[in-house]
Structure 1
Amino acid sequence: MRYAILLHYPEASPEELGDALAEGQAAFQAYARDLTDAGVLVSGEVWQPSSATTTLTAGDGGLRVQDGPFADTRDQLGGQFVVDVPDLDAALAWAEKAPSVWWGPVEVRPSATHVESGSWVPST
């Protein structure tokens, strides 16, 4: 079963993070290596800051494109790891090892379907 491990945390500039930036990068590198070594990593993404976001909304007869995120929270969705594990307990065990669990919420969400070779495949 595929699960997305969604990482939410406060955003900070490299200057604000200082030495913690290198420590965080090393922690995420180790986490990705552990997922890979366990054979459960499907993909991983750490995203640009939310200020780089472009949001699309449809309504009132048209499409609206706006710069910026529109989440009203100090924590932003900063990245995700997709894992393929037997069950929720296994996904939670990996999620609790995500370095950002100490900085903000880590959400675990099961996949309903995914794309493989251009076709939708139900997750099982």
Structure 2
Amino acid sequence: MDRFHLKRIYEPYAIEDGYRVLIDRLWPRGISKDAAHLADWAKGVAPSNELRQWFGHDPNKFLDFREKYLNELHTDIIKINKIAELHRLAHIMPVTLVFAAKDSIHNHAVILKEELERVTK
């Protein structure tokens, strides 16, 4: 059973999403809080502003971005605590990591999900 799922905020809400957590630092454009159907907005687990701005969603920088973001996930206490909380929740219900990026392959949500699954194994 997959405990963690990814979903763009612009995709429709589904009851199967379970615990929906927005993992972006910035609120997505054009989405109301009611329409988002979120249980949580975990800004602290998102990449730092500096890293986010440096990456700029450039697929050519993705491998370096991945390494730098993983370093943040392993060293930032706010990120470490949120990951632990998401693990606890995933034992109770599905957890859907909600993000706004257009590129569904080269983004921090993919990295975070892989890290959550790696630590769960």
Normalising by structure 2, we get a TM-score of: 0.29
Normalising by structure 1, we get a TM-score of: 0.29
User: In terms of Rg, which structure is larger?
Assistant: 1
